[in-house]
Structure 1
């Protein structure tokens, strides 16, 4: 499977996999148990047996914390056979921005093989819906992070870093995006600012050849567009003179990008300058890259908040494409309908990626766990995964809803992370609730040509009663930015958010007064860049960075607090459902 080179063969394989889900899932579990039955973790439940029914009966559903002691022993030099019957090749670092803690996930060659296969499927699906998507060049904002060597002698890094440095990525089949505008030396540059500048510059030089544009996550692409707004004049100067800016000091970047510049090109510089000098950047992407056919990046889950910004930059002229669903634990699924609206995105699970099980939400009983083929249309589940690298019945923490089927493979909509994002009393606000509430509030500011660039929150419990604090970075839709914020408008935003939160929050806020008024603190432009730089300095990588929805680090909180320019609080109490009175 890792040697697919022909589009027709890849399409045939995808059809076969999605038509024989039960058989393939049974084979996956059988293969994993044959390899892992004698690992220390499974020994205590299976006593060396590889029987699938015994596995389902005896092995409990767990979380990463259940596997962490075994993983840490391997990290510290004990044999990898403690957790996996297959040889491990490294440890995948989770981003840590969802849970507040980085995880070390065991990894072997199967992870990269499956990631490559999922990318194959993404490419052939796209080719069915977008003519010529791979006949030009792809401007993808891609970055790698540092790798550290553990005491075991195995490297630890991010999944994207492992993949971008693998032969699978360096030697792709012809039906992937034909080539990137960015040289490999720029992708591998350790300085993310220099890398981002050079990637965007190369994309502008080859603007007429670009047929696809994007990043792994929507947030990174929006970050790139905001960076371009600040630096396009310098890039035009580079193109006009044929000389790269002196502050680009990375030798790999200088040599590779200088070749792409090729010499002075004042005509191209003038074209880009005319486009970028407009008062508004609405619809700027199809103007800068006239032959691009789509904007790619994950836009589901917490990335959904970046959809308005992307829609602003494309002005309804290009589709937003969310290609696949993966995690640090395993690749999962592919989007079989790439041109659908953002709110309609579902992912088709590929049954040979891992062994998948699902816990019905609100059942509260592990006995209710169901297999991939037994999920019901419209129902909500928490994803449980058994991987090829040593996680057995491990909760991923994602809540999904079944939306349909492709052949016999279920399709799922990403709903939310399972964990509670914020709480100051006895209420519990999930990521999904918070995102929906903020989205409603942003409708209040849209009429003033203002967009929410990014946000996060934290529970302020130093005072009684505690209250929610939201940090908002706002951006004007026009080139001259935001002249002045209307206080009444911002107070209304606070009220809309509170009115949109769950019934328990509203009861404690309005009736019992055990939660104080929600507060929005507006921060300076560039604040969330500074927050990202803080987390990257702590070891995150730009490719996998996601703005944490709730700040748990005092140091990160100080980054935000130092940039606050104005504060607003809700003045109206939200309504209370009569049943809770």
Structure 2
């Protein structure tokens, strides 16, 4: 009973599903209970780390880490104001312009607001912060929906196209960056985040092959699927429409244990080879 009590630790947000979740919920409470002081501390750390960057020196902020000086000297800017500096980095300038740490890649916007993707420079450790943010989802969800560790998630996850800047840095959407990172590809087992989709299917750049193989795996493991979703609601709607259009081919592949020739990516086919086996309909006997 003592072990059970420990696993069901109660946090200010509510009873956690497990000890690991309790630590995450405690972290949320710690970061939000005194949000103002936390934000001030983080600002000091950012200003101290980047004290010698060209951007802060330009406004006389080199060495100043207090919030009031920051507010007085650093103006509010738009993307267009920063674009010349961003373009210098994209063209290959490796001096500390906006960041004291080397820029590892550019994250791109969707382009839906102005018709052109914006480039946002990022550093390698940003992936650690992103991973931390994503790790807070299940502890909160489990406060209200129990048993999320008892099955699999049919989540439709996709990568998008990427490019290289003139200076050789990769430019790609934030989720594509995360899915292609070791943080996602080599993540440790977590019973709360077991997906039906193989990594190869998620990383397949061809949208049809990726959707088809993810849908096929989800349907094949349908008795284990506990939840269905996508990062954006539009992705889930697209998946539903895809099922409406291709259910006959999907059903045939499940029945025969084969994979349509329209999925030609070798890594995807290899990842599904050990998953698929014939599943005839009730009353049928599969031959050959």
TM-score category (smaller protein): 0.7 to 0.9
1:54 correspondence with 2:74: no
What displacement does 1:143 show? 1.0
2:259 equivalent among 225, 244, 247: 244
Cα RMSD, aligned residues only: 2.0
**What number of residue pairs does the alignment pair up?**
265
Deviations 1:422-449 (A, max 9, x none): xxxxxxxxxxxxxxxxxxxxxxxxxxxx
SS of residue paired to 2:84: helix
What displacement does 1:20 show? 2.0
Aligned to 2:247: 232
- Cα contact 1:148–1:155 (8 A) shared by 2: yes
Aligned to 1:17: 31
Q: 1:39 to 1:252 in 2, by over 3 A?
A: same
Aligned to 1:37: 51
What displacement does 1:236 show? 0.5
C-alpha separation in 2, matches of 1:34 and 1:189: 41
Q: 1:37 to 1:95 in 2, by over 3 A?
A: same
Deviations 1:387-427 (A, max 9, x none): xxxxxxxxxxxxxxxxxxxxxxxxxxxxxxxxxxxxxxxxx
Deviations 1:220-278 (A, max 9, x none): 110110011000011001111111111211111112123221x21013899xxxxxxxx
Q: 1:17 to 1:174 in 2, by over 3 A?
A: farther
- Cα contact 2:150–2:191 (8 A) shared by 1: no
What displacement does 1:141 show? 0.6
- Cα contact 1:242–1:258 (8 A) shared by 2: no
C-alpha separation in 1, matches of 2:190 and 2:24: 10
2:205 equivalent among 190, 193, 206: 190
C-alpha separation in 2, matches of 1:191 and 1:268: 34
1:166 correspondence with 2:164: no
SS of residue paired to 1:200: helix
Unaligned runs of 5+ in 1: 271-581
Aligned to 2:21: 7
2:161 equivalent among 142, 146, 169: 146
Q: TM-score, normalised by structure 2?
A: 0.86
1:87 equivalent among 102, 107, 111: 102
C-alpha separation in 2, matches of 1:184 and 1:11: 28
C-alpha separation in 2, matches of 1:134 and 1:63: 43
Aligned to 2:150: 135
Aligned to 1:66: 81
Q: TM-score, normalised by structure 1?
A: 0.44
C-alpha separation in 2, matches of 1:66 and 1:269: 68
Q: 1:37 to 1:176 in 2, by over 3 A?
A: farther
- Cα contact 1:139–1:182 (8 A) shared by 2: yes
What displacement does 1:135 show? 2.2
- Cα contact 2:61–2:70 (8 A) shared by 1: no
Q: 1:250 to 1:104 in 2, by over 3 A?
A: same
Decide which moves more: 171-180 or 128-137: 171-180
- Cα contact 2:178–2:184 (8 A) shared by 1: yes
- Cα contact 2:90–2:167 (8 A) shared by 1: yes
Q: What does residue range 442-453 of structure 1 map to in structure 2 within 5 Å?
A: none
Q: 1:196 to 1:241 in 2, by over 3 A?
A: same
- Cα contact 2:61–2:73 (8 A) shared by 1: no
Higher percent of residues as strand: 1
C-alpha separation in 2, matches of 1:210 and 1:268: 21
Aligned to 2:6: none
- Cα contact 2:94–2:102 (8 A) shared by 1: no
Q: Give structure 1 regions of 4+ aligned residues with deviation exceeding 4 angstroms.
A: 173-176
- Cα contact 2:197–2:214 (8 A) shared by 1: yes
Q: 1:102 to 1:67 in 2, by over 3 A?
A: same
Higher percent of residues as helix: 2
What displacement does 1:111 show? 2.4
1:223 equivalent among 229, 233, 238: 238
Q: 1:72 to 1:239 in 2, by over 3 A?
A: same
Aligned to 2:124: 109
- Cα contact 1:123–1:175 (8 A) shared by 2: no
C-alpha separation in 1, matches of 2:282 and 2:78: 54
Q: 1:29 to 1:268 in 2, by over 3 A?
A: farther
SS of residue paired to 2:231: strand
- Cα contact 1:41–1:83 (8 A) shared by 2: yes
